A and B are shown apart, each in its own frame.
Chain A
Amino acid sequence: AQSVTQLGSHVSVSEGALVLLRCNYSSSVPPYLFWYVQYPNQGLQLLLKYTTGATLVKGINGFEAEFKKSETSFHLTKPSAHMSDAAEYFCAVTSGGYNKLIFGAGTRLAVHP
């Protein structure tokens, strides 16, 4: 069965610092992996996705993630944090067809001046 583990429920960085949000997955089949972002009182928005091909995936707002099969990881990074990046981030893996997703518990990112 597929599952997703996000290490760290809360991450705090300074503005301009590197953002690293960790995601490890378990999947019995080649996974499709996603990162979503949720701003306060809003739904989830797609940041980026990995399907096949290039293992480094670029998304919106300067975020990128690298699929590492050997480590079963799909960590999300951004070189320089901005105040507007403060939000909750969810890693997800497809499960059981019909584009259904299994989500991690989420990581809340705080960015301070």
Chain B
Amino acid sequence: NAGVTQTPKFRVLKTGQSMTLLCAQDMNHEYMYWYRQDPGMGLRLIHYSVGEGTTAKGEVPDGYNVSRLKKQNFLLGLESAAPSQTSVYFCASSSWDSTNSPLHFGNGTRLTVT
């Protein structure tokens, strides 16, 4: 079972460059999320989606955009990367059929912005 797959696993960007992170899930989950993980700060929600064609802002959305054109995919874009966006990015998905369904996480993308 693939679960949640993130690509790429690693990326190095120069300040001002753009990139897109791809998340794909094969569990037919309605809900998808993008979190960033920074040392000593846990995981913070960037954006999330509650269904195909919908997106919403999380706790730290500035500098990021997202799209959910297909139910199984959730893309995270950085239009103009900044060193403050150096982080590990995690995608997760969850079923809508319960108010306490757990999140299923991918293995992360380590992004360095120089």
Contact = CB atoms under 8 A, between A and B. Distances in A.
Interface of B: 4, 31, 33, 35, 40-45, 48, 50, 58, 90, 92, 94-96, 99-103, 105-108
B100 A44 contact: no
Given A43-B107, A99-B94, A32 B99 contact: yes
Contacts, number: 64
17 contacts: A32-B100, A34-B102, A43-B4, A44-B105, A94-B99, A98-B31, A98-B48, A98-B96, A99-B96, A99-B99, A99-B100, A99-B101, A99-B102, A100-B33, A103-B42, A103-B43, A104-B42
Contact of B40 (A45, A90, A105): A105
Contacts of A41: 107-108
A83 interface: no
Contacts of A98: 31, 48, 50, 94, 96
A51 interface: yes
A102 to B, nearest CB: 8
Interface residues of A, number: 24
Query: What DSSP secondary structure best describes chain A's contact surface?
Result: loop
B110 to A, nearest CB: 9
Given A34-B102, A101-B45, 18 more contacts: A32-B100, A41-B108, A44-B43, A44-B90, A44-B103, A44-B105, A49-B100, A49-B102, A90-B43, A94-B100, A97-B99, A98-B31, A98-B50, A99-B94, A99-B96, A99-B100, A99-B103, A103-B44
A80 interface: no
A28 interface: no
